[in-house]
């Protein structure tokens, strides 16, 4: 039986290095692990309790929750926007945290990785994302970390899937995440 990991990318830009990093995770997932890249975060409206009601939940949010619910674990890819995670990623976490105590993140292993232009590779944003998913009820796999600095220059001519060091480090993260146990909700 294979482990299913849902990848959420916090950048909506078509040429995003974090999206490319997620594509590398899909391509180089270890045997027995399937990484699925979720498409559609741009369509998920900002979380609003008034629309999170039976019969009123937007279809894009329903799809996000269903995909996360079917996954064994989640892998978040976060760039750093002004020292923190992008709103689209925070919004996904908010939708997945509900209903309170029983959201799609509840007791599910989650790891956060990413790349950014700065010298620390988006560490602040990734730390914020870990904090948010932990509060939302996920099991944060703290040892599964990867922050790649200098994305604009490092990936100017090389896709992350073709960078041997990145592939090796990313494969380790995916393997750690795939072996992390879920906890009882």
* Domain residue ranges of the chain, discontinuous segments joined by +: 3-179
DSSP 114-160: EE-SSTT-SHHHHHHHHHHHHHTT-EEEEEEEEEE--HHHHTSSS-G
Q: What number is the average pLDDT over the span 15-20?
A: 96
Class of domain 3-179: alpha beta
Confidence of residue 185 (pLDDT cuts 50, 70, 90): low
**62-110 per-position pLDDT tens digit:** 999 999 999 999 999 999 999 999 999 999 999 999 998 899 999 999 9
| CA atoms of 179 and 3, how far apart (whole Å) | 9
Average pLDDT over residues 24-41: 97
Distance CA 135, CA 182 (A): 15
Residue 72 makes CB contacts below 8 A (sequence gap 6+) with 3, 4, 5, 108, 109, 178, 182
> Quick one: pLDDT at residue 100?
86
pTM of structure:
0.96
- The percentage of residues in the chain with a pLDDT greater than 70, rounded to a whole number, is 98
Round to whole Å and give the CA distance between 149 and 115. Answer: 6
Q: How many CB atoms lie within 10 A of CB 64?
A: 23
* CA 102 – CA 55 distance, rounded (Å): 18
Q: What pLDDT shows up at residue 1?
A: 67
């Amino acid at each position: 039986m294979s482990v299913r990991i849902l990848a959420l990318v916090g950048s909506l830009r078509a040429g995003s290095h974090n999206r490319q990093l997620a594509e590398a995770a899909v391509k180089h997932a270890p045997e027995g692990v399937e990484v699925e890249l979720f498409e559609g975060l741009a369509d998920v409206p900002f979380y609003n309790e008034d629309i999170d009601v039976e019969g009123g939940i937007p279809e894009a949010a329903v799809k996000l929750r269903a995909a996360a619910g079917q996954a064994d674990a989640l892998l978040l890819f976060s760039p750093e926007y002004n020292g923190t995670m992008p709103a689209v990623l925070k919004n996904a976490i908010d939708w997945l945290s509900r209903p309170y105590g029983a959201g799609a993140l509840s007791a599910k292993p989650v790891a956060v990785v990413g790349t950014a232009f700065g010298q620390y590779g988006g560490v602040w944003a990734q730390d914020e994302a870990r904090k948010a998913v932990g509060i939302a009820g996920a099991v944060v796999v703290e040892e599964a970390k990867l922050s790649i600095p200098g994305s604009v220059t490092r990936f100017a001519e090389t896709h992350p899937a073709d960078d041997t060091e990145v592939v090796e480090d990313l494969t380790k993260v995916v393997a750690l995440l795939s072996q992390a146990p879920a906890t009882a909700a």
